[in-house]
Amino acid sequence: MTDQVNALAQAAGQAANAGRWQDAERLWGQVYSLAPDHPQALYSLGVHAFQRGDLSGALEFLRAAHLASPMDPLILMTASVVQREQGDTENEWLTINDCLAVDPYYLPGLLTKAAFLERQNQTRAAANVYRDALRIAPPETHWPDALRPQLAHARTCVEAHTQAFAAYLEATLAGPRAALEVAASGRWAESAAIMTGRIQAYRSESNQLTVPRLPAIPFFDRGDFDWVAGIEAATPAIREELLAVQQTAQTGFSPYIAYNRGEPVNQWIDLNHSERWSTYPLWRGGERVPENLARCPRTAQALEAVQMARIGGLCPNAMFSVLAPHTQIPPHHGETNARLVVHLPLIVPPDCTYRVGFEHRTWTEGEVLIFDDTIEHEARNDSDLPRTVLIFDVWNPLLSLAEREMVEAMTMAARDFNSEP
């Protein structure tokens, strides 16, 4: 009998796939007569009854299917659809929750639950469930066709909820925020953005050496560094040397991104070996570039007065960095949070912006920006003219002198180990 049941079930499935619904129902009926507890037969007969408008008959078959296969969430979700058509809201809700009790990550079940809440005008609760559904859904390019409209609707609902929540927080927190110091205001604006789901928390991610337990501070206060006034005062002289270097026949500028053939370039594919982001190195990987420093003596003197980070093989770095018009440096992370990166803006046309984590800044000529480049950051030049800054490294001031020596020791140890044959 098992062979006969299997053959009939296969034929029923083929008939359904071909759109021959009456044949499919007849064949499933034959399976049911031979094997009354066959889960697929019970489920399919329930679906056929539902399609004919026999809601009571559909539920009877679906309940029997659930008893035969209690761990199949599709059966319960389909039963909830029948109950919705019956107007049985109370049992529909119970069945939806039974479905998700079987599999809390069942995507159609989550979408069904969110739609139920939305129909009950519980829009905020619905948005939270839609958000859960989107979190477990595959990337949009792999959305199942049957669920695509529901997932698109889910995204729309979540976006509307996020905007409404953000507006509510903005209005509600205006008073407490006004009492904050300016330096703390950005922290709480970012906290609100995380709470509403607009962003994920930005964290420090080092490509080489990570110092744990250091706070991920996007921008540091210029007033906390005693060398700032001196190098800012030297801005005119440094800019003059930059312009002189740019006017020479052999400028020494080269693309900053220069991966070798065959190396994975990831987000740098558009800028690899491109002069749209070029640099003139003064220090590179902890080593002086004597010929370039000789051409820029006042810049070299200003840098000597700065407490640049010195990490063998890695720091200090110092360079003139030129970003061409209408060019974006994509989001990326730096090498180590033991050092901070400093920008001294020299030539900044309008429409040039910089982002570190959640915070957006604009460069002001002659005024340094000091930031942790292990937090995701990016730069844009949307103007018609080049943007040029002097970039160099300094120690993270939260490290003690002994810890700075530890950074140096660890970096050199790793470099020595990896250089062995």
The 10s digit of each residue's pLDDT in 73-126 is 999 999 999 999 999 999 999 999 999 999 999 999 999 999 999 999 999 999
Give dist(CA 105, CA 198) in Å, integer: 23
Q: What DSSP designation does 268 have?
A: G
Domain contains 242:
yes
pLDDT for 249 beyond 60: no
Query: Taking a C-beta distance cutoff of 8 angstroms, is the pair 131, 123 a contact?
Result: no
Mean pLDDT of the 391-410 span: 93
Q: What angle do CA 329, 331, 335 make, to 5 degrees?
A: 100
Q: Is 239 exposed, middle or buried (0-12, 13-18, 19+ CB in 10 A)?
A: buried
Q: How many CA atoms lie within 13 A of 13 on its CB side?
A: 9
What tokens were used for 314? 């890695």
Give dist(CA 74, CA 338) in Å, integer: 53
Task: Kindly tell me the number of DSSP H helices and DSSP E strands found in the chain.
Answer: 16, 12
- 263 and 160, same structural domain? no
Taking Cα atoms as reference points, which of 176, 194, 257, 190 lies closest to residue 218? 190
Q: What DSSP designation does 201 have?
A: P
pLDDT at 250 (0 to 100): 64
pLDDT category of residue 221 using cuts at 50, 70 and 90? very high
DSSP H stretches of helix in 142-197 = 148-172, 174-178, 182-196
Give dist(CA 365, CA 344) in Å, integer: 7
| Residues whose CB is less than 8 angstroms from the CB of residue 381 and which lie 6 or more positions away in sequence, other chains included | 323, 324, 325, 326, 327, 328, 349, 351, 352, 387
Give 5-59 pLDDT, tens digit per residue: 888 888 888 888 888 888 888 988 888 888 899 999 899 999 999 999 999 999 9
Amino acid (one-letter) located at 95: T
What tokens were used for 271? 């800028």
pLDDT category of residue 415 using cuts at 50, 70 and 90? confident
Domain C-terminal end among 164, 189, 205: 164
- 411 and 262, same structural domain? yes
Give dist(CA 370, CA 283) in Å, integer: 18
- What range does the domain containing 114 cover? 2-164
- 230 and 321, same structural domain? yes
- 293 and 390, same structural domain? yes
Give 302-348 pLDDT, tens digit per residue: 999 998 999 988 899 999 999 999 999 999 999 999 999 999 999 99
Considering its fold, how many domains does the chain have in total?
2
Domain contains 11:
yes
- 245 and 130, same structural domain? no
Domain contains 181:
no
Q: What DSSP designation does 414 have?
A: H
Domain C-terminal end among 134, 164, 194: 164
C-alpha torsion angle, residues 170, 176, 180, 186 (rounded to 10): -20
Q: Which residues of 393-421 are buried (b: 16+ CB within 10 A; e: fewer)?
A: bbbbeebeeeebeebbebbeeeeeeeeee
Domain C-terminal end among 149, 164, 179: 164
pLDDT at 390 (0 to 100): 98
Q: What is the CATH number of the domain that holds 155?
A: 1.25.40.10
Domain contains 213:
no
Q: What is the CATH number of the domain that holds 305?
A: 2.60.120.330
Give dist(CA 38, CA 94) in Å, integer: 25
Cis, peptide link before residue 215, omega less than 30° from 0: no
Give dist(CA 133, CA 89) in Å, integer: 22
10 Å Cβ neighbour count for 351? 15
Domain contains 139:
yes
Percent of the chain having pLDDT more than 90?
A: 71
Domain contains 185:
no
Q: What angle do CA 186, 189, 194 make, to 5 degrees?
A: 125
Mean pLDDT of the 230-234 span: 97
C-alpha torsion angle, residues 188, 189, 194, 196 (rounded to 10): 120
Give the lowest-confidence range in 195-199, 317-321, 348-352. 195-199
Q: H-helix or E-strand containing 297?
A: helix 297-304
- 230 and 108, same structural domain? no
| Residues whose CB is less than 8 angstroms from the CB of residue 134 and which lie 6 or more positions away in sequence, other chains included | 151, 154, 155, 158
Domain contains 204:
no
